Structure 1
Amino acid sequence: MILYLFCLCFFPLIDAETDEIVSAINSGSFTLRTGFTEIQSDHEIEWRFGSRRTLINAAEKVNLLPIFRDRLLIQRETGDLTITNITNEHTGVYELSIVSGQKELQKKLIVTVYAPVPVPVITRYSPQCSSLSSSAAVASKTVLLCSVLNVEHQDENTYSCVVNNPVSQQTKHLDIDQLCQKCSDCDNRCQKEL
């Protein structure tokens, strides 16, 4: 019983928080937050990165990983870590450790860096051209292809193609009236990019 109490006195109490997911866009920046509005002078803050848990906020920058050189900003008041001009190499697990006396707070943050999405392209393909001027007749014989996803019907005259990821979105709209014009050259099978 005495040995058990002795061990409790010398091991720090650890508060582990749940993981936080952070999404960022390539060439942009992201900020990892400690959750504090002000860090006390007796708090020791460590930010680590990757499976090797490499220290990235050391005062001595000599051994800093190349992917973090000239990209780190640490806010003195809060301990928040901002990384600028990010690339896919910054995707990974970041660990925060704040020690105050015998108490330690640990937090894991999972960062994913995404490329910006391209503007989608909607392509019209009509296997048989129709000389009818009716929009219903032309639309019924036309297939719309989206460069990334399926084309969605929005309302009576509008279709849209949406491409997105957690950090960016691009949408291309198509009014069916643009599509419903007489085909001038039926021999070309009416393939047209809109």
Structure 2
Amino acid sequence: MIHALILMRFCLLGVFGDTEEVKISVMEGESVTLHTDLTHIQTDLEIEWRFEKIRIARIKRSVNIDPTYDNETEIFRENLKMNNQTGDLTITHITSQHSGLYKLNIFTGNKQKVKSFSLTAYAPLPTPVITSDVSHCSSSKCVLLCSVMNVRDVTLSWHNGSRTHSSINVSEQKSISLPLEVEYQDTNTYSCVINNPISNQTKPFCLADLCRPCSDVTHSCGTVEASMRLVVTAVMGVAAVAAVIVLSYDIRSRRDELKRKSHTSPTTTSIEE
């Protein structure tokens, strides 16, 4: 009997020991369950969940078998579901507003167990966009820009094969670009990667498609400009020819009209005499 009491006391001390903290990362729109590690709720247990010091759910088995929800914050509404057998708390349709500290309190008699969950919700990652920065074009090198719009808590990096060439971190919401300077004859394989702790997006590309010597770019632009000049000249020529035709027709019409009048005038005079 004494051994049984000692064993029970040891178990209780093991369960209701120091505060634990669990870090959880989840994608926005998904669901997550915070576990109490209990198999069932005994009659003398009270389980309480808090978010940033605000109580959001509770079960007091001696009073009610079903959980009660204290939705003092509008961000949860119908996003909470507490298991009435284990006390586990499920949060559905997670957004960035659900990021924060969740605290589990388990009370039994004069003992208390505290367990904390640090939850971080991450937005889906966009695919990086790679462009050529022609303003920094030279005869031997070109500069590429890898860009993403409206991101936070991410790392944007250039990779040369499996090696990270350069990177930039951003914690607050903003748009960022990361440059990469390469030789035109470079045969390495590059890619741009955006990632956070739970996901990543990789954008591969062909170096030859984006990097061309400045002379080629200038020549291409000069060819386009020359073509435009030819088109404009041709249009102006057609317009000039059309104007000459219209003017010639107008002069001919006036001349014919004068001839008709000159023939009609003498005939009319002889009749009157």
Calculate the TM-score normalised by the size of structure 2.
0.52
Aligned in 2, Cα 1:26/1:114: closer, same or farther, shift over 3 Å?
A: same
Q: Deviations over 1:47-80 (max 9, x none)?
A: 1111xx2221144446543211111122233322
Say how many residue pairs are matched: 166
Match of 1:135 in 2: none
2:47 corresponds in structure 1 to 45
**Partner Cα separation in structure 1 for residue 217 and residue 208 of structure 2:** 19
**C-alpha distance in structure 1 between counterparts of 2:161 and 2:79, whole Å:** 43
Aligned alpha-carbon RMSD (Å): 2.9
Q: Does 1:176 align with 2:178?
A: no
Partner Cα distance (2:200, 2:85) in 1: 34
Q: Which residue of 2 aligns with 1:56?
A: 56
Match of 1:158 among 180, 189, 208: 189
Counterparts of 2:137 and 2:74 in 1: how far apart (Å)? 58
Compared with structure 1, are the counterparts of its residues 47 and 70 closer, same or farther at alpha carbon in structure 2 (3 Å cutoff)? same
**Mind listing any 5+ residue stretches in structure 2 that lack a counterpart?**
1-11, 59-66, 149-155, 163-186, 223-273
Q: Is the 8 A contact 2:18 2:113 kept in 1?
A: yes
Structure 1: which 5+ runs fail to align? 1-11, 131-139, 190-194
Q: TM-score, with normalisation over the residues of structure 1?
A: 0.71
Alignment of 1:17-166 (within 5 A): 17-36=19-38, 38-42=39-43, 43-50=45-52, 53-58=53-58, 59-61=67-69, 63-126=71-134, 127-128=136-137, 140-148=140-148, 149-154=156-161, 156-166=187-197
Aligned partner of residue 122 in structure 1, secondary structure: strand
Counting aligned pairs with the same residue, the percent is: 42
Aligned partners of 1:48, 1:145: CA distance in 2, in Å?
Answer: 45
Greater Rg by CA: 2
Tell me which stretches of 4 or more aligned residues in structure 1 moved more than 3 Å.
Answer: 58-64, 126-130, 177-185
Q: Structure 2 CA distance, aligned partners of 1:157 and 1:20?
A: 42
Q: Which amino acid aligns with 1:107?
A: K
